[in-house]
Each structure stands twice: as structure tokens, then as C-alpha cells.
């Protein structure tokens, strides 16, 4: 691989080639890339240069190594569907060990977007809960929930500091049961805090879920924004086939 006129280092050229390779339709989660020997021969670079490029992709989470099976595209830690339910339960159904850490808890006033999603007047008191979720100690998402304060009188940060399920607290203490949800998924440019908390490589976009959860009577009980690691989290939706 000849060096480009712009003097981009060869290992970065190799890295870009590998990124395009694993982003192509020919590769998916769990697929192995060609061996270092095969890639070095194909690209006409030495093994040290190739290994440096692969090391950088492994460090950023784009690839992972196995001592016996070579290098592969990582398998997501979590597969999320469009079903309503506790993230703890979803992670467990995926075979992982869930944990979460409370990042922020406060009583605030609903601004325009939050008020509209919860069908409450602007300025209404809401409880803000922000948590960092992990699967097997790997950070996967940051979730920020807004709940009308009048629905959860007496709720304190201490009620969630030990990793308790928010939905369990809502059901057991307040008799509030999440029955349905409406969600949208979009691409999100992470903040510096989100990059650090999720161990994101620089300049990597995330997946943002905006979720409105309703009880059985159709009353909005939670508006949630979830920033998801694009490598460790995949989404699956189901829809009927029209004939």
C-alpha cells in the first residue's frame, strides 16, 4: 500500500481500509477478518504496520481479539427490542449481568419538550434520574428519565443508589405499572461527558432513544432519553409482513 500524497501514515491508511471492510455488508457481528498474514500480503505492508492498525481498532472497540480464533467484529453486549420493560430484565435475557450507577438525581421543572412528552404544563415539577448502565462491567448506555413529581411523592436518590430497578420502585411503592411505550431512534453526537462515561472512541456517534412510557390507562408516566454505545448495543424491531 503506497503512502498517499497527503503523507497520511501507512498504518492510518490500513486502519481506514479495515474500518471500511468491517462496515461493509460482507461483515457483521462475530465475523472474523482475514488473518494478519493475508491482510499484509493483500495490502503490501509489513506485519508490524498492520498490527498497529489492528491494535488501534481493538482499543476503540471496533475489533476484538481471541487468542485461538483470530480477530473479529465484536458481538453486541445487548440486543434491544421495542418491548417495554426493565433494562435489568432485558440484559438478563441477553445472558449478561446488569448493573447501574446513579449519576444524577434532582427535582426540576419541565421544559417545553419534557412537558409535551409527558402531557403536563411547562414548569411542572419533575424528578430527573440519570443512570449509567453496564453489562458485565462494560458501559453500554446513559439513561435520563423524567417523571412527574406528583406521581412519586417521597422518592429520593437513596431509593436508587444501590442499582434498584426504577420500574420496580414505581410498581411496588406507587402502584404505577409500565404498560406501553412509544420510541424514536436517531443518531446522536455525544457530549464529552458521554464520551468519557461510555468509553467512546473520539468522533464516534451514538444511538439515541427517546421513549415515552404510559401506564395501562394511557397516562404518560416517564419520558426517557437513552444514549447507547453504537458498538455494544444493537436494536431489533418486529413488524407484520404485508401480503
83 pLDDT higher than 90: no
Spell out the domains of the chain, with CATH numbers in brackets. Answer: 10-72 (1.10.10.10), 78-235 (3.40.1410.10)
Q: What is the pLDDT of residues 88-145, one digit of tens each?
A: 887 887 778 889 999 999 999 999 999 999 999 999 999 999 999 999 888 999 999 9
Q: What is the pLDDT of residues 39-69, one digit of tens each?
A: 999 999 999 999 999 998 888 778 888 767 7
Tell the burial category of 232 from Cβ atoms under 10 Å away from its Cβ (0-12, 13-18, 19+).
Answer: buried
Angle of the 47-59 helix axis to the 10-23 helix axis, nearest 10: 60
Name the range with the highest mean pLDDT among 78-82, 192-196, 203-207.
192-196
Higher pLDDT, 234 or 198: 198
Tell the burial category of 25 from Cβ atoms under 10 Å away from its Cβ (0-12, 13-18, 19+).
Answer: exposed
238 pLDDT higher than 80: no
Sign of CA dihedral 22, 24, 30, 185: positive
Q: What is the pLDDT of residues 182-202, one digit of tens each?
A: 889 899 999 999 999 998 877
Q: The whole model's pTM is what?
A: 0.74
Percent of the chain with pLDDT over 90: 59
Distance between CA atoms of residues 138 and 133, nearest Å: 8
98-109 vs 78-80, strand pairing mode: unpaired
Amino acid at each position: 500500500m503506497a503512502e498517499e500524497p497527503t503523507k497520511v501514515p501507512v498504518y492510518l491508511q490500513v486502519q481506514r481500509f479495515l474500518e471500511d471492510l468491517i462496515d461493509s455488508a460482507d461483515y457483521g457481528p462475530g465475523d472474523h477478518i482475514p488473518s494478519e498474514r493475508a491482510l499484509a500480503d493483500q495490502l503490501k505492508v509489513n506485519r508490524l504496520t498492520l498490527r498497529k492498525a489492528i491494535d488501534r481498532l481493538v482499543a476503540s472497540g471496533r475489533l476484538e481479539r481471541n487468542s485461538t480464533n483470530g480477530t473479529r467484529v465484536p458481538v453486541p453486549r445487548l440486543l434491544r427490542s421495542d418491548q417495554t420493560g426493565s433494562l435489568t430484565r432485558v440484559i438478563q435475557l441477553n445472558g449478561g449481568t446488569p448493573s447501574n450507577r446513579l449519576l444524577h438525581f434532582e427535582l426540576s421543572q419541565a421544559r417545553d419538550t419534557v412537558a409535551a412528552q409527558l402531557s403536563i404544563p411547562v414548569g411542572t415539577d419533575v424528578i430527573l434520574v440519570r443512570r449509567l448502565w453496564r453489562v458485565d462491567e462494560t458501559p453500554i448506555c446513559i439513561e435520563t428519565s423524567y417523571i412527574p413529581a406528583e406521581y412519586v411523592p417521597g422518592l429520593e436518590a437513596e431509593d436508587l443508589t444501590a442499582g434498584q430497578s426504577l420500574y420496580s420502585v414505581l410498581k411496588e411503592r406507587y402502584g404505577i405499572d409500565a404498560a406501553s411505550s412509544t420510541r424514536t431512534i436517531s443518531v446522536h453526537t455525544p457530549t464529552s461527558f458521554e464520551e468519557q462515561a461510555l468509553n467512546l472512541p473520539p468522533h464516534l456517534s451514538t444511538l439515541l432513544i427517546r421513549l415515552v412510557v404510559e401506564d395501562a390507562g394511557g397516562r404518560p408516566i416517564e419520558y426517557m432519553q437513552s444514549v447507547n454505545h453504537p458498538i455494544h448495543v444493537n436494536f431489533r424491531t418486529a413488524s407484520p409482513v404485508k401480503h
